Amino acid sequence: MLSQDSIQTMAKKAKKASLRIANLDSSEKNRLLKAISERVKKSSQLIADSNLLDIQEAQKLVADGSLSKPLLDRLKLTDEKIVQLSTYLDEVARLEDPVGKKQFAIRLAEGMELERVTCPIGVVAVIFESRPEVVIQVTALSLKSGNAVILKGGREAFHSNKILFQIINEVLVEFDLNNTVNLIETRDDVAVLLNEDRNIDLIIPRGSNEFVKYIQDHTKIPVLGHSSGICHIYIDDNIDVDKTIKIVVDAKTDYPSACNALETLLIHRSAADSILPRIIRELSNYKVRMLGCEKSVKIANQNNLKLDLATEQDWSTEYTDLILSIKTVDSLSDAMDHINTFGSHHTDTIITENRENAELFLKQVDSGCVFHNASTRFSDGYVFGLGAEVGISTNKTHSRGPVGLDGMVIYKYLLRGDGHLRSSFSGPQAEKFLHIPL
Amino acid sequence: MLSQDSIQTMAKKAKKASLRIANLDSSEKNRLLKAISERVKKSSQLIADSNLLDIQEAQKLVADGSLSKPLLDRLKLTDEKIVQLSTYLDEVARLEDPVGKKQFAIRLAEGMELERVTCPIGVVAVIFESRPEVVIQVTALSLKSGNAVILKGGREAFHSNKILFQIINEVLVEFDLNNTVNLIETRDDVAVLLNEDRNIDLIIPRGSNEFVKYIQDHTKIPVLGHSSGICHIYIDDNIDVDKTIKIVVDAKTDYPSACNALETLLIHRSAADSILPRIIRELSNYKVRMLGCEKSVKIANQNNLKLDLATEQDWSTEYTDLILSIKTVDSLSDAMDHINTFGSHHTDTIITENRENAELFLKQVDSGCVFHNASTRFSDGYVFGLGAEVGISTNKTHSRGPVGLDGMVIYKYLLRGDGHLRSSFSGPQAEKFLHIPL
């Protein structure tokens, strides 16, 4: 752990650094990204060696049961993954610069024009777990969008994160951009950071529900993120059965620990009798444990299938595992009510051949991502064509859904006048504002 | 004060109501605004009578010195202001609907298309002081942008706010939109509201610095606003003297209690000897009290003018009064450093005939509004052509500067597929995403 002073000094220096990176033009930022990419490429052995240290420690933890096997897999930087690190930097270099875009311009008076242009946010703190490649990904997005960044990775990736940070920082120092990327190491460091509201403009926590809630409760810095991903599929009463079953299986089993995996299945009561038994049989093949409402359990029993009874708690539980809660509903409207009440406003899908119902669902479900006849698993910045994502947000302000480069910028108003006075526009002989769009 | 239960129930009902108003189309929302406008017009006597009750109570407070005269003026709904209330609703009805705008669309795969469309935020809480017309203005902006709103006005405008709320609510009930606009009355009610993060999506506090800071410290709901408006003018070394003096006088004296009024004047040392004495003489005519850095005081003394010495504290003080701090600086770069360090990122102006310096200042000053050769007083939603403003933000996320209708919306991603599975896009025979902009 760094001392409280060190963290405060780091935040202050990051703020100063943010003003420098903010003013680089696109070609300078891309040159920087490419230089980091080159350095990463040259350092592949060093990266592999450091990662091995983390893996060895993690293997011990897996052996004594205190770390899960999937977490170990996410930690490992295979040769292929190390090659991808520099590819990733090259790709972000190729993305359009989100800074300096004119959003609108207007003539307020003769000789006085206003424009609104995008600019970087300033200093962003990103807190994440296990996968060390996030150091590279978040750094690439931050630099491209002209922001300074403070990173906090998972304890289990300590050596990997450290070497990646060192490589990045070497290049930054050569570019006279010291303190633009910063790495902190412990949750205690994070606790100090949370009070740095004068120097940090945005926090993006990616971690467990409890951790995200802790962050939200302990800072007045704006927080962008999602504390849970309780994603729904609603099966309407006019469906293509094969299509339906495939989507449900994909959404639940493709990557059950992802935040966009299916957690609750809602079925229109007219469809339930025929489709529910097939779904139970199909998901059983994938070892999915299912919990149902009373009606669902009754239908299961009538078909000699086993279904445990869900409790009220299940409707607001994110399992991130091969577990699914199932509920029958009386109508589309009840399904939307359920989702808007119990969901986490992350990603929700309707399966229906009725286009009108689909559009109603897309309009009225209050979530960042609302889908028709597609797996919830498509909810992802890369899939959406944003190039990459720094996180997924269930906020209702700033940035919602997968957060790409355009979630890393804000705008400023620039007014160019020639001695214009506000008092000329009031009183009996007031000039009138022109308000002519340019 | 309402009971804690009542406030919680109000927030819950507002959330439900927000889903209804969110789904009205533009013509329905405009019909609603016009109906409120009509009702306000018909109720002008009722409004005047209620306002008189507030005025009478306020006059007593002015007499015993516990309320300032300007506050009394802001409280008064003159006949002209009452007519303006309905004009205001009509004008917002005419503004473009900010909801349902397609921001972009992209084909992800054959038969699967994604679009991003604007949508309302949900429930917005707005806390403001004295001027009762804010009830009408904020209601108009909230309804037009499809949001439910919880209003908290100043205690001194109790009767005026109440009658305006009742008129609005009568019309909402007729439109079957109960609970869309809500009024709470005390700071204790606000304290309860701050815990309603499940039901309230955004808080916009407009009030004293201390109050805004209190809100930021006591809620995890996103807060949009500005805790202070420490606005600067920097006088460069290549200036038109008459233009310069007029802008400085306008920025300081046109409306000293406004958040966009000038608080600190920075002067390039090469310009100070000639311009500072003229500025001191001119502002003295307007009874402005001035405080200067050592160098400024020296220049004043050499010209037989009186200038008190400023303390370090002055550089970060918002006077909201006829007081001005003055500092000489060695360069444009020092001026920008001073503003970025001591300012509140609200509105800052450079006065210069050097276009290159002007553009550098516009680019590098990290404030919501950055001006060249124009009074800081132009920083305002109506002036900027936004139609109106719900507040001014110094946040670096969501909405910055004057917040108009487009600060009252967010967006959602809508994906339309036909049985698409995420698993088809991974593994050895993976389909590739098309990412074709539409």
pTM passes above 0.80: yes
Interface touch A396/B222, C-beta < 8 Å: yes
Whether residues B50 and B177 share a domain: the answer is yes
**Can you give the pLDDT at residue A348?**
98
**Can you give the pLDDT at residue A226?**
79
- Tell me the CA distances in angstroms from B316 to A214, B152, B295, B342, one per residue in order: 32, 29, 19, 5
Choose from B414, B432, B435, B436 for mutation: most chain A CBs within 10 A: B414
Nearest CA in chain B to A240: B419
Collect all residues of chain B within an 8 Å Cβ-Cβ radius of residue A106: 384-385
Pick from A23, A400, A413: which is nearest to B412 by CB? Answer: A400
A171 DSSP assignment:
H
Summarize pLDDT for B48-79 with one digit per residue, the tens.
999 999 999 999 998 988 887 778 888 999 99
**Can you give the pLDDT at residue B225?**
84
Structure tokens at B380: 């305002």
**Can you give the pLDDT at residue B68?**
79
Structure tokens at B257: 């209690």
Instruction: Determine which helix (DSSP H) or strand (DSSP E) holds B150, and give its type and residue range.
Output: strand B148-152
Q: Which domain holds residue A324?
A: 231-378
Whether residues B76 and B125 share a domain: the answer is yes
Whether residues B56 and B151 share a domain: the answer is yes
Spans of chain A, pLDDT less than 70 = 1-2
B243 touches A: beta carbon within 8 Å = yes
Whether residues A166 and A47 share a domain: the answer is yes
pLDDT exceeding 70 applies to what percent of chain B? Answer: 100
**Can you give the pLDDT at residue A1?**
59
A410 touches B: beta carbon within 8 Å = yes
The answer to whether A59 touches A11, Cβ cutoff 8 Å, is: no
Whether residues A208 and A67 share a domain: the answer is yes
Structure tokens at B128: 């403001």
Pick from A251, A374, A422: which is nearest to B378 by CB? Answer: A422
B83 touches A: beta carbon within 8 Å = no
B223 DSSP assignment:
B
CATH number of A241's domain:
3.40.309.10
Choose from B119, B415, B418, B432 for mutation: most chain A CBs within 10 A: B415
Collect all residues of chain A within an 8 Å Cβ-Cβ radius of residue B400: 410-413
**Helix residue ranges, H only, A218-354:** 241-253, 269-285, 294-302, 332-342
Structure tokens at A173: 């120092």
Structure tokens at B263: 């608080």
Q: pLDDT higher for B390 or A4? A: B390
| Ordered DSSP codes for B68-110 | -HHHHHHH---HHHHHHHHHHHHHHHHSPP-TT-EEEEEEEET
Whether residues A41 and A117 share a domain: the answer is yes
Residue B67, min C-alpha distance to chain A (Å)? 26
Summarize pLDDT for B332-385 with one digit per residue, the tens.
999 999 999 999 999 999 999 999 999 999 999 999 999 999 999 999 998 999
Widest CA span of chain A, in angstroms?
86
Collect all residues of chain A within an 8 Å Cβ-Cβ radius of residue B118: none
Q: Which residue in B344, B371, B401, B137 sits closest to A108, CA to CA? A: B371
Nearest CA in chain B to A194: B217
Summarize pLDDT for B328-342 with one digit per residue, the tens.
999 999 999 999 999
Interface touch B384/A108, C-beta < 8 Å: yes
A83 touches B: beta carbon within 8 Å = no
Whether residues A119 and A150 share a domain: the answer is yes
Whether residues A195 and A75 share a domain: the answer is yes
Nearest CA in chain B to A261: B422
Q: Is residue B395 part of a domain?
A: no
Whether residues B135 and B261 share a domain: the answer is no
- Total domains in the fold of chain B: 2
B91 touches A: beta carbon within 8 Å = no
ipTM of the complex: 0.94
B387 touches A: beta carbon within 8 Å = no
Residue B216, min C-alpha distance to chain A (Å)? 6
Summarize pLDDT for B159-206 with one digit per residue, the tens.
999 999 999 999 999 999 999 999 998 888 999 999 999 999 999 998
Q: Which residue in A350, A342, A397, A399 sits closest to A370, CA to CA? A: A350
Q: Which residue in A423, A414, A433 sits closest to A116, CA to CA? A: A414
**Can you give the pLDDT at residue B199?**
95
Chain A, chain B: beta-carbon pairs less than 8 Å apart: 228
User: How far is Cα A321 from Cα A111, in angstroms, rounded to an integer?
Assistant: 62
Residue B60, min C-alpha distance to chain A (Å)? 30
Mean pLDDT on B130-157: 94
Collect all residues of chain B within an 8 Å Cβ-Cβ radius of residue A423: 250, 254, 377
Pick from A383, A413, A425: which is nearest to B384 by CB? Answer: A413
CATH number of A201's domain:
3.40.605.10
Q: Is residue B241 part of a domain?
A: yes
Q: Which residue in B265, B258, B267 sits closest to B228, CA to CA? A: B258
Chain A, residues 351-380, CB within 8 A of chain B, namely 358, 362-364, 366-375, 377-379
| Ordered DSSP codes for A39-104 | HHHHTHHHHHHHHHHHHHHHHHHHHTTSS-HHHHHHH---HHHHHHHHHHHHHHHHSPP-TT-EEE
Pick from A19, A410, A412: which is nearest to B370 by CB? Answer: A412
Task: Name the region of B191 (left: φ>0; alpha: ψ -120 to 50; beta: rest).
Answer: alpha
Q: Is residue B387 part of a domain?
A: no
Interface touch A378/B106, C-beta < 8 Å: no
Residue owning tokens 């689909």: A358
Choose from B412, B426, B433, B438 for mutation: most chain A CBs within 10 A: B412
User: How far is Cα A242 from Cα A278, in angstroms, rounded to an integer?
Assistant: 10
A110 touches B: beta carbon within 8 Å = no
Pick from A379, A415, A433: which is nearest to B369 by CB? Answer: A415
Pick from B254, B400, B422: which is nearest to A422 by CB? Answer: B254
User: How far is Cα A212 from Cα A128, in angstroms, rounded to an integer?
Assistant: 10
**Can you give the pLDDT at residue B44?**
96
**Can you give the pLDDT at residue B1?**
59
The answer to whether B327 touches B315, Cβ cutoff 8 Å, is: yes
User: How far is Cα A325 from Cα A315, in angstroms, rounded to an integer?
Assistant: 7
Residue B210, min C-alpha distance to chain A (Å)? 14
User: How far is Cα B197 from Cα B149, in angstroms, rounded to an integer?
Assistant: 14
Collect all residues of chain B within an 8 Å Cβ-Cβ radius of residue A362: 414, 416
In terms of C-beta density within 10 A (0-12 exposed, 13-18 middle, 19 or more buried), how is residue B5 classed? exposed
Q: Is residue A384 part of a domain?
A: no
Q: Is residue B418 part of a domain?
A: no
Q: Is residue A140 part of a domain?
A: yes
Collect all residues of chain A within an 8 Å Cβ-Cβ radius of residue B432: none
A432 touches B: beta carbon within 8 Å = no
Whether residues B266 and B141 share a domain: the answer is no
Collect all residues of chain A within an 8 Å Cβ-Cβ radius of residue B356: none
- What mean pLDDT, rounded, does chain B reach? 94
Whether residues B206 and B248 share a domain: the answer is no
Interface touch B372/A422, C-beta < 8 Å: no
pLDDT higher than threshold 90 for residue B214: no
Q: Is residue B289 part of a domain?
A: yes
Identify which of A27-36, A377-386, B80-89, B218-227 has the greatest average pLDDT.
A27-36
Interface touch A414/B373, C-beta < 8 Å: no
Choose from B223, B362, B397, B408 for mutation: most chain A CBs within 10 A: B397
Interface touch B375/A420, C-beta < 8 Å: yes
Whether residues B143 and B278 share a domain: the answer is no
Q: How many CB atoms lie within 10 A of CB B211?
A: 17
Structure tokens at B218: 């006591």
Pick from A364, A372, A415: which is nearest to B378 by CB? Answer: A415
A422 touches B: beta carbon within 8 Å = yes
B432 touches A: beta carbon within 8 Å = no
Q: Which residues contact residue B135 at a Cβ distance below 8 angstroms, ignoring those fewer than 6 apart?
A: B151, B153, B160, B161, B164, B165, B168, B183
Q: Is residue B140 part of a domain?
A: yes
Choose from B211, B403, B420 for mutation: most chain A CBs within 10 A: B420
**Can you give the pLDDT at residue A216?**
85
Interface touch A411/B422, C-beta < 8 Å: no
Interface touch B423/A250, C-beta < 8 Å: yes
Choose from A415, A420, A432 for mutation: most chain B CBs within 10 A: A415
- Tell me the CA distances in angstroms from A299 to A277, A338, B155, one per residue in order: 8, 21, 59
B222 touches A: beta carbon within 8 Å = yes
pLDDT higher than threshold 80 for residue B207: no
Backbone φ and ψ for B229, nearest 5 degrees, come out as -125, 80
Summarize pLDDT for B392-416 with one digit per residue, the tens.
999 999 999 999 999 999 999 999 9
